[in-house]
Structure 1
Amino acid sequence: MTPERRSWLMSRVRGKNTTPEMRVRRAAHSLGLRFRLHRKDLPGKPDLVFPKYRIAMFVHGCFWHRHPGCPKASTPKSREEFWQAKFDMNVARDARVAAELEALGWQVITVWECETRESGIVDILAGIRRASQEKIPHSVANCNQAVRFGSEGRPDGG
């Protein structure tokens, strides 16, 4: 690939609202999960933030963030040293940002680009929903079982 062609190709790569990110957003919304996008007040500006569950989610491209074992995480043949240094910086930044978020009490979830094409993303998001429901100490069913109701429909004081 010529340097001009590679430059043109790389100039087309976006950082926000990518196709994999949009897939994750659609799946989260369809499951009833509500989120915020690219919160600037959090380290690394996570792609999706679920404030209710204190979850920060990153949708990483396999190529740029070096998804282990993924065929998309190939290294260009030209200027290998340049690319390797760039990839190493990305991976180091990802680890630093995750550590900062965890230190602030956030759970960090990374979704890889190749996972967004499968039903795996729905499983991950459904897991968030299930975990959030388990964390709620008093669901309506638990409240009805725990509180005795008197003859007037009000909880007994006893």
Structure 2
Amino acid sequence: MQRLAAQVLRNPVHFLAFGFGSGLAPKAPGTFGTLAAVPLYLLLAPLPLPGYVLALVLATLLGIWLCDRTARDLGVHDHPGIVWDEFVGFWITMLAVPLTWYWVLAGFLLFRLFDIWKPWPIRVADRRVDGGFGIMLDDILAGAYAWLVLQLLVRFT
């Protein structure tokens, strides 16, 4: 673990893919990665919708490259410590959601639920799509599912 931590902390690509080091958590790195995404979300949330969407697209494209490169360097497809995909998945969940602590908490819980549960087609994508795109895709889909549920909650509560 110390060797991996040293490798991640020394390499800027790995450092970003590991969510600024949050993916080094010994237990539940995806949850810690999602937690680390919250402060960055709070910085993105005030952007106008087109700016937020642009940031999301750029973060996704960057994530495909970061995750692919890190997975290849570590020799492990979708290493549990790679959590940039959780960042993007959470940010998708929070697209156009009111900025209050309870909606952030609801988004966090819904995203973690769908990311862990992996209902169809998330599980299929997780198993069949390789590379950086595959690492990102299951979290993009989990974020979309969580976004849909969160939007319904926002509209009807």
TM-score scaled by length of structure 2: 0.32
* Higher normalized strand content (fraction of residues): 1
Higher RCO by CA contacts (8 Å cutoff, separation 6 or greater): 2
- Higher fraction of helix: 2
